[in-house]
Amino acid sequence: MRKSKQFLNLPVISLEEGTQIGLIKGLIVNPASKKVIALAVDQKGWFNDQKFIPYGKIHSVGDDAVTVNHSAIVQKGNSLSEIIGLVKEKNNINGVRIITENGTMLGQVDDYYVNLASGDIVGMEFGGGYLSGVYSGSAFLDIDHVLTIGKEMIVCTDEAMEKAVKLDGGLHDRLQDVKESTGKLLEATVQKSKSIGSNLGSNVTRSISRLKRNKDDHAPQDDANKEEPPKE
């Protein structure tokens, strides 16, 4: 499994000729099948000279390069009508917002994961939106919960809010658990604040009472209660 952005700028190597053919400049996604069907190769040009590797003809996607059996695998776009059609549609996944069927905005796609063997999209990493209210970071959404990949929105099931998994240094927890624990922490904080406020109020009241008593003890007596001096 590999993030889509990790494909970019990988060199394309022909195993038969032992030469570098070009660099990977993009992934072509079929939104209906939720699959990467080709890789765009930069060979000094775009469209007319732009070339592609149909994903099924890739020999391997390694850490440092994409390999093909021979250079003829890399084909011009004018011979690949389906791929060119998708390129013109500009179906970008990264940066697109994710919304549930009930209208809750989950966030925005930061990247998506690709099965290296098949090209299938495995899931999406996203942040912001609903996520920012329960967790400061990113989360992973399995492709099984994605209903539609559109140009402007990605629509997912309502269960996606509970099934999404937060990504935090390798620790994976369901967002629902994070939300519940966050809610409990918030409630505890509110109760603690109320307790502090109540104690502060009691302390202030006691302090005012002590001040009043001290004032009364030291106040001068009323002239009516003073002893009159003896008459001459």
- End residue of a domain, out of 89, 109, 137: 89
Across 155-177, average pLDDT: 72
CB-count burial class (<10 Å; 0-12, 13-18, 19+) for 157: middle
Instruction: Write out the residue range of the structural domain in which residue 45 sits.
Output: 2-89
Q: How many domains does the chain have?
A: 2
Global pTM reads: 0.70
In a domain, 62, yes or no: yes
Is there a single domain that holds both residue 107 and residue 171? yes
Amino acid at 114: V
Give me the helices (H) in 34-120, please. 81-89
Beta strands 153-156 and 97-100, pairing class: parallel
In a domain, 122, yes or no: yes
Across 18-37, average pLDDT: 96
Across 169-177, average pLDDT: 48
What SS3 state is found at 41?
A: strand
Is there a single domain that holds both residue 77 and residue 117? no
Tell me which of 95 and 191 has the higher pLDDT: 95
Are 12 and 22 within 8 A, CB to CB? yes
- H or E, element range at 107: strand 105-114
Radius of gyration of the chain (CA): 34
Across 137-149, average pLDDT: 93
**CATH assignment of the domain containing 63:** 3.90.50.10
Is there a single domain that holds both residue 104 and residue 84? no
